């Protein structure tokens, strides 16, 4: 990871650098060629997952995606992690976007929402992650279509077996979750409301998946991952998302990814850099890497959806402020942060303070980023201040609006 700095950008902003790490994968800029052809008949015998999403908030997809493609991506994630890069750099490669074609087919078949670009991959080799929702809009009802279908859904795919020993997902079904549809009550832990007594713990559902199997779930489902057993093999996964634009707009021009073409390499790298900043507390990133990611995003600001770009700026400032608590910033860094804060507040996005809350601080490996002073009840509530959805007016929806830190998907 030491090479991923602003000074070395001429190396890592080119496909050749990444192909040397994952020699078995390909990067053909704006490629129309598919090494793994998408079989449109693959889902022809699928059951109606939409019914499960409506009734439970999740649906188990037992059909396995093409094994050759899954193995190639799993090996790619392992090679990236071995080279000290977060697993999400797997999105630089053609094979990941060929898998995305399968995912898009499934998402658009069983939801009314188009493909989105909130993309993530995980490699869990230590701990798990705490219960949370993926989105916490201020007006929860507005995040559903009139028929009750969610405006945001995730397709989570296991690249390795996900078991009860290595942090498979756990969920609480919609019908046992009081806050799923109506929203969570202020100052009350949503998890304790869903599990009010010992008997209620029987409602928890474990979601073990074999490699290539997957899960569909909505933005409101409570989910988490257990701590991995020391002797268990690491768990790798990848996810794709669909979202109604009235709830959350695509982060980049959606026409960059079609049936005939894959996104150009620069857009793939832009998404990875932006996502690493947005989810900076989930990954153990150096300050130099964060700055390199931000400078790359800033150089391509016009390619990012405006609200999403503001979120990237907001989270970069927060990451730098967190680093300043232990490492003194130099004068140029302080000036840059002040300028970014001023621009964000002048544009009506972001309200910065010195006493921002820590919230949920899981890292990608599962360890906490730091201790906090919240009581158990307060911490339980904060865990559910997940990433905000956007309504038609681009109003950020969370308990404390934009003061509330973005705590998005961690799986």
Digit-coded pLDDT (tens) for 220-277? 999 999 889 999 999 999 999 999 999 999 999 999 999 889 999 999 999 999 999 9
pLDDT attached to residue 42: 57
pLDDT attached to residue 282: 82
Average pLDDT over residues 6-21: 95
- For residue 142, pLDDT over 70 is answered with yes
Average pLDDT over residues 296-321: 92
What mean pLDDT is reported for the chain? Answer: 81
* Cα 48-49-55 angle, rounded to 5 deg: 110
What are the two backbone dihedrals, phi and then psi, of residue 389, each rounded to the nearest 5 degrees? -90, 165
pLDDT attached to residue 366: 37
> pLDDT: is 231 or 391 the higher one?
231
What does the alpha-carbon distance between residue 194 and residue 175 come to, in Å, rounded to a whole number? 9
pLDDT attached to residue 36: 54
Confidence of residue 39 (pLDDT cuts 50, 70, 90): low
pTM of the model: 0.83
Query: Domain limits of the chain?
Result: 6-403
pLDDT attached to residue 185: 86
pLDDT attached to residue 318: 87
pLDDT attached to residue 50: 92
- For residue 383, pLDDT over 80 is answered with no
Average pLDDT over residues 210-217: 97
Query: Which range, of 35-44, 77-86, 278-287, averages the lowest pLDDT?
Result: 35-44
pLDDT attached to residue 393: 32
pLDDT attached to residue 225: 92
pLDDT attached to residue 394: 32
* CATH architecture of structural domain 6-403: Sandwich (2.60)
331-382: pLDDT as tens digits: 676 676 676 666 665 555 555 443 323 333 333 343 333 333 323 333 333 3
């Amino acid at each position: 990871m030491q090479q991923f700095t602003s000074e070395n950008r001429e190396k890592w902003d080119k496909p050749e650098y990444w192909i040397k790490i994952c020699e078995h994968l390909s990067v053909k800029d704006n490629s129309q060629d598919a090494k793994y052809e998408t079989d449109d008949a693959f889902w022809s015998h699928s059951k109606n997952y939409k019914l499960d999403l409506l009734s439970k908030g999740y649906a188990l997809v037992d059909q396995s995606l093409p094994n050759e493609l899954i193995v190639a991506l799993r090996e790619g994630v392992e090679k990236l992690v071995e080279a000290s890069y977060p697993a999400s750099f797997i999105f630089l490669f053609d094979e990941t976007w060929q898998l995305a074609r399968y995912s898009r087919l499934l998402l658009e078949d069983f939801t009314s929402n188009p493909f989105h670009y909130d993309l993530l991959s995980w490699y869990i080799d230590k701990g798990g992650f705490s219960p949370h929702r993926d989105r916490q809009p201020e007006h929860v009802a507005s995040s559903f279509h009139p028929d009750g279908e969610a405006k945001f859904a995730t397709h989570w795919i296991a690249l390795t077996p996900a078991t009860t020993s290595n942090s498979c997902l756990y969920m609480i079904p919609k019908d046992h979750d009081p806050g799923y549809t109506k929203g969570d009550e202020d100052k009350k832990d949503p998890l304790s409301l869903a599990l009010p007594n010992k008997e209620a713990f029987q409602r928890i559902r474990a979601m073990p998946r074999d490699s290539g199997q997957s899960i569909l779930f909505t933005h409101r489902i409570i989910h988490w991952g257990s701590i991995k057993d020391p002797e268990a093999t690491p768990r790798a996964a990848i996810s794709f998302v669909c979202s109604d634009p009235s709830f959350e707009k695509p982060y980049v021009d959606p026409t960059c990814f079609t049936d005939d073409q894959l996104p150009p390499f620069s857009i793939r790298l832009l998404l990875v850099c932006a996502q690493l900043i947005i989810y900076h507390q989930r990954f153990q990133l150096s300050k130099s890497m964060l700055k390199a990611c931000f400078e790359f995003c800033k150089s391509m600001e016009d390619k990012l959806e405006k609200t999403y770009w503001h979120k990237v700026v907001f989270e970069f400032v927060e990451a730098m402020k967190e680093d300043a608590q232990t490492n003194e910033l130099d004068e140029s860094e302080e000036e840059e942060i002040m300028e970014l804060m001023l621009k964000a507040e002048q544009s009506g996005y972001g309200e910065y303070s010195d006493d921002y809350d820590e919230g949920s601080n899981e890292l990608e490996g599962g360890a906490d980023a730091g201790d906090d002073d919240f009581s158990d009840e307060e911490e339980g509530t904060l865990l559910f201040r997940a990433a905000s959805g956007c309504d038609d007016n681009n109003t950020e929806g969370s308990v404390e609006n934009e003061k509330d830190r973005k705590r998005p998907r961690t799986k």
